Amino acid sequence: MSANPVAEHSIIQFDHVQKSFPGHQAISDLDFTIARNEIVSVVGVTGCGKSTMFNLTLGLFAPTQGTVRVQGHDPYAEFDWFRRKVAVVFQDARLLPWRTALQNVCVGMKFAGVEKSEWEPRARDWLARLGLSGREDSYPHQLSGGQRQRVSLARAFAVDPELILCDESFSALDEITAKNLRAEFVELVRSGGKTGVVITHNIGEALSLGNRVLVLRAPGHLSDDVGIPADASDADREALRTRILAAMEPAGSGDVGPSGALTTAGRSAS
């Protein structure tokens, strides 16, 4: 049995991660754990390091310092191992314009190394689950923005990943469509036993999606980690919104100075 119950149940662990690009520090000290089956939102002002955090989780580059682990593995060093474990959905659906909805979902499975005989039945199943029965042969330009995003979600879920990352996936949609798709996303993550991490600029969305909100402040560190009680009342949510907004404000007392010099807001992983 593992001596570390946090590690055993965690799917993402950032241990004092720093990430610098030439002349610029994007992440100064990011330290958090996300457990299996959580749905966690990530908020923070533009440029605070949210997408960089995803790119580190996806293994697109290595941290400058610290460690990133996904299911206990290094996503950068073991990039191939991760192909079927993690899926990402972006703000724009990023579909291939010359491929149909069905083919776009199949392409995701092809790159993930799913057995070819499974592509079409799985693609049809996921398109149906996302309300696109009958639109399998439509090209992206024949679909609305919301429908294209449904194809993008189908492509992600069809790979059957452990972890789904959404980078502002619901931001470009009208509020009604976004609300419906968010609810479907939560249901699919929960019923599939998956873990979801969603970057958003919409605090209402963050509060309605999952069980926790991570608030980042530039340069890339945690300024608050807000649990959302399942039975939170409207008044509770309003109080949480105020707390999150305060945590998003540029550095104030007890956090980082204007230079980004760190006084840690994260929690120790050990």
Residues in touch with Mg ion (CB under 5 A)? 51
Among 7, 36, 51, 120, binds ligand ATP (CB under 6 A): 51
Question: How many other CB atoms are found less than 10 A from the CB of residue 234?
Answer: 7
User: From the list Mg ion, ligand ATP, none, which binds 21 (C-beta under 5 to 8 Å, kind-based)?
Assistant: ligand ATP
Among 47, 72, 113, 229, binds ligand ATP (CB under 6 A): 47
Options 47-55, 141-149, 154-162, 207-215: segment touching ligand ATP (CB under 6 A): 47-55
By beta-carbon proximity to ligand ATP, the closer residue of 24 and 141 is: 24
48 binds ligand ATP (CB under 6 A): yes
- Here the contacts of 91-98 (C-beta below 8 Å, separation 24 or greater) are 91/167, 91/168, 91/169, 91/171, 91/172, 92/172, 93/140, 93/145, 93/148, 93/149, 93/151, 93/152, 94/152, 95/140, 95/148, 95/151, 95/152, 95/155, 96/140, 97/139, 97/140, 97/141, 98/139
Among 1, 2, 3, 46, binds ligand ATP (CB under 6 A): 46
DSSP letter for each residue of 172-184: TS-HHHHHHHHHH
52 binds ligand ATP (CB under 6 A): yes
Options 21-29, 66-74, 173-181, 259-267: segment touching ligand ATP (CB under 6 A): 21-29
Spatial separation of the C-alpha atoms in residues 147 and 25, rounded to whole Å = 37
CA distances from 73 to 77, 138, 169, 204, 267 (A): 8, 38, 26, 33, 21
By beta-carbon proximity to Mg ion, the closer residue of 25 and 51 is: 51
CB of 198 to ligand ATP, least distance (A): 13
CB of 65 to ligand ATP, least distance (A): 16
Tracing tokens 């610098």 back to the chain, one arrives at: 20
User: From the list Mg ion, ligand ATP, none, which binds 24 (C-beta under 5 to 8 Å, kind-based)?
Assistant: ligand ATP
Options 44-52, 136-144, 227-235, 237-245: segment touching ligand ATP (CB under 6 A): 44-52
